[in-house]
Amino acid sequence: MIRIAFFDAKDYDINSFNNNITDEFEMKYYETHLTVDTASLAAGYDVVCVFVNDMIDKAVIDALVESNIKLIALRCAGYNNVDIEYAYGKIDIVRVPAYSPYAVAEHAMALLLTSIRRIHKAYIRTRDFNFSLNGLTGFDLHGKTIGVVGTGKIGRILIDISRGFGMKVIAYDKFPAKDSGIDYVPLEEIWEKSDIISLHCPLTDETEHMVNADSIDRMKKGVVLINTSRGALVDSEALLEGIKERKIGAACLDVYEEESDVFFHDFSGHIVADDVLARLISMPNVIVTSHQAFLTKEALENISLTTFANIREYLSEGTCANMVTYKPE
């Protein structure tokens, strides 16, 4: 029997994993995040299963190793929340590299359409029987230029969707996809020529705050920025200033750089202490969703099945195709 301690568990997680569990696994679901203070809850288990806002730092890794945890199983693609360098040689890590690129790309387009056609505002108005069209003027996507930063599976699907709307697509990727037919340009050209910019790249030291005061200054006046990737790709304070200065025409955010203490929780009856996030949400041209781009039935199914397969493969073979690898210099 493989015993798994599952952290940051939500109802949709529990349902999807319970639907696919087999007799070889025993699950214990914890609502709390995995931190150095909660790591003791994993004692006696073989595997910890974690999500994007569980911070796997040195102290947590040491605590897991001391508890004889055999594996950290990420149920997400990104691993910037894990100190993989420190984990090297101490404990192995596996991830779910792709669960539904369609879900994320479609959510990015849904945010864009909602924003530029003022659908969220129209919905609120008509609920109050206000059928005025004043202030709801949008613009056509047809003929506009969208700059896609990152052309992995999600980025390429958004490119296909954008072409279906008759948009001109330019893209940037450090490692361009060969024979893809994608019009790759330097990153500076993305900032300067795009009417809409959508981010679909991983968070690294190189990409952190790639959208900052300097890059915003290069952008077209009225540009629409979409981020469904990682929050720290965008300098939130610089974004706020860009909106206040009317340089950023709209922002569609499914992620936020300080989201770990806010997203996935209900603060409707409380005061949010994050002033930058509160000011962003108060802006009429900003839409924020709480890291829900991945949240489809298909994605949850793939996450649970792949996570179980990763654990099974690692514990039986000592390795896994979806291991997160660190190469020491």
Are the CB atoms for 171 and 147 separated by under 8 Å? Answer: yes
DSSP letter (8 states) at residue 82: B
List 118, 200, 257, 259, catalytic entry: 259
Catalytic status, residue 3? no
Give the integer Cα–Cα distance in Å for 253 and 197.
12
Q: Which helix H or strand E contains 27, and what residues bound it? A: strand 25-29
> Pick the catalytic residue: 95, 107, 230, 257?
230
For residue 109, which of 182, 191, 196, 195 has the smallest C-alpha distance? 196
First to last CA, the chain: 38
Per the annotation, the verdict on 291 as an active-site residue is: yes
Is-contact 154 107, C-beta < 8 A? no
Q: Is 95:74 a contact under the CB 8 Å cutoff?
A: yes
Token pair of 235, please? 């300098």
Residue 120 has which token pair? Answer: 């969220």
**Catalytic entry in 291, 301, 312, 313:** 291
The contacts found for 165-174 with CB under 8 angstroms, 24 or more apart, are 165/141, 166/141, 166/142, 167/141, 167/142, 167/143, 167/196, 168/143, 168/144, 169/145, 170/145, 170/146, 170/194, 171/147, 172/147, 172/148, 173/149, 173/201, 174/206
Active site residues: 230, 259, 291
